[in-house]
C-alpha cells in the first residue's frame, strides 16, 4: 500500500527522497509528499496525484535539508486530497510523520487528544493522530515519544517521524507493516521496500515487529519496546538497480511477462540437485511429517490464491493428501478446522500481505505447521513460517502479477512432486516424466512470447468490448480465474470466470451475439466435454477465443480464433496457458490507453484489511 522513504546524511534530502518514492510507485498511490528538517524548522510539501505533480510544484523552490521523510499515499481514511496527503504535522509544527497501515483506535485517540490537549485536527485521516500523539508525548527524545505513542495505538502499521528539534534523526516503528533500514556511506535510510534504496546501497536491516529504528547519518540503532538494543544481521541485496528498471520495455508488466522463462528456470534449477532430483533446501518435511498431516490448507489472496487452486489439483493428484484452498481474508473469520495435523501453505509475492499474514498467525496459534511460498527474502510471512520456499522471480514492479504467479506454480509443482516421492504415491518413471515436462517449460514459454504479435492483433480487434467470459474445466478453470483477474486489473473490462460445466446452471443466460468467451481447452481427457461447452456458447453467437494445444485442429470448427500453446502433459498446462492470457490483458489495456503498471485503486502490497 503506502510507501515510506527516509534519508539522513549530508546531501540535500529532497531529490533523494523523491527518487526513492518513484521506485515505490508500483505499490499504488493517490498522493505524495515530503517533509525535511531545514534551519530548525520543518518544511512540508504534499500534493494529490502523481509524484510528477509534486515535482512540478516544488521545481522552482529552493528546498534544502539533509534529513527528511517522504510518502506515497493510498487512501483508506479520507478521500485523496492535498490536505489528506502525507506527511502530517503536529499542531505546533514540531513533528512530522509518514504512515503506512491503519490505526484502528484513531477515533478514540482523536477524542482524547481533543479533550485533554485541545488538539485541532485538520484532516480526515487516521494518520494525523500519530503526529499529534507523538508531539504531546515529546519531552526530550523523539524515540521515547514514539515508544510511548505506540503503547496507545492499535492496528497494523509502520511509521517514521522527524522533529524540528532533533536534527539528523529519523525514528521509525514497525507493527505488522513492512519496514527496512538501509546502510549507506555517510548516510542512512528507512523505507517500505528494497527498490526505493537500490540506487544508493545494497546492505539493509530487516526490521521485525514491535521494533524501533533510530536513524542518523552515523548509525542505525534497532531497539525493542523496552529500549533494549537488538542485534541484527545485515542482508546483502542481490538485486541490481537494472532489475527494477524497464530496460527498454514500454511497461514493467510487459518486461516481467518476458522475464518469465528466466524466472521459471531460476526457480526450478535452484531446487534440483546434480542428479536431477528435487532438493528443498530450507524445508525439513519428512515422511513422518507427511504421514502425520491429515489435511493441507493453501491460503492466499488474488493471483496467489489462483496459484493455490492449481496447487490443490496437483498436490491431491500426486501426493494424495486432501487440500483446501481459502481466501486469506475469509480464513480467520470462520474458525477453520486447523490443528497440529494440518500443513498450512501461505502464498504471497511480497510476503507482507496482511490478510495472509493474519491467517498464518491464526493457523500457527491452532498448532499448524506453516510452509510459505514467497518472493521477498526476509519478509514477514517468510520470517514467521516454519519452512520457506522462495521463488526466484526477482523484483516484480507492475501491480498486476505475472512472473510471481508462474514461479509460485513451479514451487507448488516441486512441493507436490517432493511429497509424492516421499510418500510413494507416484512411480519413479512418472516423477521423472513430470520433472522433464517442467524443465521444458521455459523454452515453451519463450515460444509463446515470440508469437505475441498474434495476440496483439487480436487485442486491437477486441479491446472495446464491455465484458469477457473465461471458461475451463478441471485445472483449466483455475487458470481461467487468473486470466479474468489479469484482464479486469489492467483494462477495467468486466471479466468473469466460471467452470465451463456450470454455464448451463445460470451464466449462459448472459450470452449474447458477439459476447467474448475465452475458452481454455488444454486438458486432453476433458477435451470432448470442453468442446461441447464451446458449442453451447457458439450457438448463442458468442465470439470464442480458444486456448488449445498444438495439433488440436477440431477446436477450430467452433472457435472464432484459436491460440495454440506447445504440446505438454495436461498437468503442466497452467504454466503455458496463462501466458497468452497475460499478453491479451496487457495489449487490451494498452489499446484502451490505461495506466498498466499502476491500475487505479490497486496496490502491489496490500498491508491493510
pLDDT tens, position by position, 312-344: 999 999 999 999 999 999 998 888 899 999 999
The segments of the chain whose pLDDT lies below 50 read none
Cβ neighbours for 358, distance < 8 A, ≥ 6 positions apart: 328, 332, 609
Which of 50, 486, 538, 604 is flagged as catalytic?
604
Q: What is the pLDDT of residue 222?
A: 97
2 is catalytic: yes
Instruction: Please give the backbone phi and psi of residue 308, each rounded to the nearest 5 degrees, phi first.
Output: -60, -35
Active-site pick, 2, 187, 215, 568? 2
604 included as an active-site residue: yes
Q: Rounded distance, CA 9 to CA 183, Å?
A: 11
Q: Which three cell numbers stand for residue 180?
A: 527496512
pLDDT score, position 607: 53
Using DSSP bridges, classify how beta strands 220-223 and 211-215 pair: parallel, antiparallel or unpaired: antiparallel
Cell 516421499 -> residue: 422
Q: Which residue's C-alpha cell is 516503528?
A: 173
Q: In angstroms, rounded to a whole number, what is the distance separating the alpha carbons of residues 396 and 244?
A: 8
Supply the pLDDT for residue 608: 52
pLDDT tens-digit readout, 387-413: 999 898 877 889 899 999 999 999 999
Q: Could you tell me if 321 and 341 are in contact, meaning their C-beta atoms sit under 8 angstroms apart?
A: no
Secondary-structure percent of the chain, ordered helix, strand, coil, rounded to 5? 40, 25, 35
The DSSP line for 510-546 is G--TT-EEEEEE--GGGHHHHHHHHHHHHHTT-EEEE
Q: What are the phi and psi torsion angles at 252 (to 5°)?
A: -60, -35
pLDDT score at 377 = 74
Q: Does the N-terminal peptide bond of residue 419 adopt cis geometry, omega within 30 degrees of 0?
A: no
- Which of 299, 366, 369, 371 has the alpha carbon at shortest distance from 339? 366
Structural domains of the chain in order of their starting residue, each with its CATH number: 3-243 (3.60.20.10), 252-449 (3.40.50.10490), 452-591 (3.40.50.10490)
What is the pLDDT at residue 427?
A: 96
Residue 606: what pLDDT? Answer: 61
- The CA distance from 330 to 349, in Å, is 19
Cβ of 452: how many Cβ atoms within 10 Å?
18
How far, in Å, CA of 585 to CA of 599, rounded?
A: 12
The three-state DSSP-derived secondary structure of 16-46 is HHHHHHHCCHHHCCCEEEEEEEECCEEEEEE
Residue pair 96/44 in contact by the 8 Å Cβ criterion: yes
Amino acid at each position: 500500500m503506502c510507501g515510506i522513504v527516509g534519508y539522513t546524511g549530508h546531501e540535500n534530502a529532497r531529490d533523494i527522497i523523491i527518487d526513492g518514492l518513484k521506485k515505490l510507485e508500483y505499490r499504488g498511490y493517490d498522493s505524495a509528499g515530503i517533509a525535511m528538517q531545514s534551519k530548525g524548522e520543518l518544511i512540508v510539501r504534499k500534493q494529490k496525484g502523481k509524484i510528477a505533480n509534486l515535482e512540478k510544484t516544488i521545481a522552482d523552490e529552493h528546498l534544502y535539508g539533509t534529513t527528511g521523510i517522504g510518502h506515497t499515499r493510498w487512501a483508506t481514511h479520507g478521500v485523496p486530497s492535498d490536505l489528506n496527503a502525507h506527511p502530517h504535522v503536529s499542531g505546533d509544527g514540531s513533528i512530522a510523520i509518514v504512515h503506512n497501515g491503519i490505526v484502528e483506535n484513531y477515533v478514540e485517540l482523536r477524542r482524547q487528544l481533543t479533550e485533554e490537549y485541545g488538539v485541532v485536527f485538520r484532516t480526515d485521516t487516521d494518520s494525523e493522530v500519530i503526529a499529534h500523539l507523538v508531539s504531546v508525548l515529546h519531552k526530550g527524545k523523539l524515540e521515547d515519544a514514539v515508544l510511548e505513542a505506540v503503547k496507545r495505538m492499535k492496528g497494523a502499521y509502520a511509521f517514521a517521524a522527524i522533529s524540528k528539534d532533533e536534527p539528523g534523526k529519523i525514528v521509525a516503528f514497525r507493527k505488522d507493516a513492512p519496514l527496512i533500514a538501509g546502510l549507506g556511506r555517510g548516510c542512512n535510510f528507512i523505507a517500505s521496500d528494497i527498490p526505493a534504496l537500490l540506487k544508493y546501497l545494497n546492505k539493509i536491516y530487516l526490521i521485525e515487529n514491535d521494533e524501533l529504528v533510530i536513524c542518523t547519518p552515523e548509525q542505525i540503532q534497532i531497539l525493542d519496546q523496552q529500549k533494549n538494543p537488538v542485534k541484527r544481521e545485515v542482508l546483502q541485496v542481490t538485486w541490481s538497480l537494472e532489475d527494477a528498471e524497464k530496460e527498454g520495455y514500454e511497461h514493467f508488466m510487459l518486461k516481467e511477462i518476458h522475464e518469465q522463462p528466466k524466472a521459471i528456470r531460476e526457480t526450478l534449477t535452484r531446487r534440483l540437485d546434480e542428479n536431477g532430483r528435487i532438493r528443498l533446501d530450507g524445508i525439513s518435511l519428512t515422511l513422518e511429517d507427511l504421514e502425520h498431516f491429515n489435511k493441507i490448507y493453501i491460503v492466499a489472496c488474488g493471483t496467489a490464491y489462483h496459484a493455490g487452486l492449481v496447487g490443490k489439483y496437483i498436490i491431491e493428484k500426486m501426493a494424495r493428501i486432501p487440500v483446501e484452498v481459502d481466501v486469506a481474508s475469509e480464513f480467520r473469520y470462520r474458525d477453520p478446522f486447523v490443528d497440529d495435523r494440518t500443513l498450512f501453505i501461505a502464498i504471497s509475492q511480497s510476503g507482507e500481505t496482511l490478510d495472509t499474514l493474519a491467517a498464518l498467525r491464526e493457523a500457527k496459534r491452532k498448532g499448524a505447521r506453516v510452509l510459505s511460498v514467497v518472493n521477498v527474502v526476509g519478509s514477514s510471512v517468510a520470517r514467521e513460517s516454519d519452512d520457506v520456499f522462495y521463488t526466484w522471480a526477482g523484483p516484480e514492479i507492475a501491480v498486476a502479477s505475472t512472473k510471481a504467479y508462474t514461479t509460485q506454480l513451479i514451487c507448488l509443482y516441486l512441493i507436490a512432486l517432493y511429497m509424492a516421492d516421499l510418500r510413494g504415491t507416484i512411480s519413479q518413471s512418472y516423477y521423472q516424466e513430470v520433472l522433464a515436462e517442467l524443465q521444458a517449460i521455459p523454452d515453451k514459454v519463450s515460444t509463446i512470447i515470440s508469437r505475441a504479435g498474434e495476440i496483439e492483433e487480436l487485442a486491437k480487434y477486441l479491446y472495446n468490448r464491455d465484458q469477457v467470459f473465461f471458461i475451463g474445466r478441471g485445472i483449466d478453470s483455475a487458470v481461467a480465474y487468473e486470466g479474468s483477474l489479469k484482464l479486469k486489473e489492467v483494462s477495467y473490462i468486466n471479466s468473469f470466470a466460471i467452470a465451463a460445466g456450470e454455464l448451463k446452471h445460470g451464466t449462459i443466460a448472459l450470452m449474447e451475439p458477439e459476447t467474448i468467451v475465452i475458452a481454455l481447452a488444454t486438458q486432453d481427457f476433458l477435451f470432448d466435454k470442453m468442446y461441447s461447452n464451446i458449442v453451447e456458447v457458439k450457438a448463442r453467437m458468442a465470439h470464442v477465443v480458444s486456448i488449445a494445444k498444438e495439433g488440436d485442429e477440431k477446436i477450430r470448427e467452433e472457435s472464432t480464433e484459436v491460440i495454440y500453446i506447445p504440446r505438454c502433459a495436461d498437468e503442466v498446462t497452467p504454466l503455458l496457458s496463462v501466458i497468452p492470457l497475460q499478453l491479451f490483458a496487457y495489449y487490451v489495456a494498452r489499446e484502451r490507453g490505461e495506466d498498466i503498471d499502476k491500475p487505479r485503486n490497486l496496490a502491489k502490497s496490500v498491508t491493510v484489511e
